[in-house]
Amino acid sequence: FRMGISVGAKAMTLYRNFYKSDIIVASPLGLRRLFDGDAGDSDDGSDGDAPRKPPRSGVPKSKSKAKGASPDFLSSIELCVADGLDVFSMQNFDHLTTVLSLLNTIPSKPRDTDFSRIREYFIDGHARFFRQTILTSQYIAPHFLALFRQHCLSHAGRALLTTSFPSPTISRVPAGVRQRFERVPGASTDAAAAIEARFAAFTDSLLPRVTAAGALVGNTLIFVPSYFDFVRVRNRFVKMGKEADPGAESERLRFA
């Protein structure tokens, strides 16, 4: 989703052209699709209202491919709020990093800019050092901290606020709940090798204990914190389901 909002003296207008908006509310995926050339969007960042005729062959030609919108409307962002990094991490986190890297870049076209009102540090390409960036999350993760150090570059400094808990979370687990921790064999300091070792341990050691005849045992919940690991685990379960019952038309698993 994506929406531009303009604030006037007596009213607020929704779904305004991004270049005439004071506030932009959008998801990283919505902006990424706009930049990549989503159908129904014009080059100036506003949604096209004119109906489009479908191609005769049913497949659009390469010459008629929609042109992606320019990210120039992100050049004057002074306050950026990314609310819920933990939710963004359940999707493709690359969409968020791509959008943040496009903030406060030099516009490619002057458009209707009043150059007498442009501050000098915008012209010098230093607007990102005057932008206030707010990131929120329910927990701290390494890629969150990397995003914080890479894109929170205000000249006034930056602050990391965390919630301190009086006692460890694991000590508050009700009695009677069985907890079992297993060390992943073959894990190394190499990030790529550690990912492969973790997935191999899951498929070779853990998965056979929670499955029966190619399907999960009842009342089994598997939580995967990384989106990329989730895709691999999902594809693995889909493959297992097809191998157990090649003629099945409905999925036996529910992914959230």
Q: Is the pLDDT reported for residue 34 higher than 70?
A: yes
**pLDDT score of 56:** 44
pLDDT tens-place string over residues 79-134: 999 998 988 888 888 899 999 998 988 888 887 777 888 888 888 888 889 999 99
**Type of residue found at 72:** D
Q: List the structure tokens of 103.
A: 């903030």
pLDDT at 25 over 90: yes
pLDDT band at 176 (very low <50, low <70, confident <90, very high): confident
pLDDT, average across residues 65-70 = 68
pTM recorded for the entire structure: 0.61
Residue, of 57 and 224, whose pLDDT is higher: 224
Question: In the predicted model, is pLDDT for residue 165 greater than 80?
Answer: no
Mean pLDDT computed over 29-57? 59
Task: Provide the token pair at 146.
Answer: 């990397």
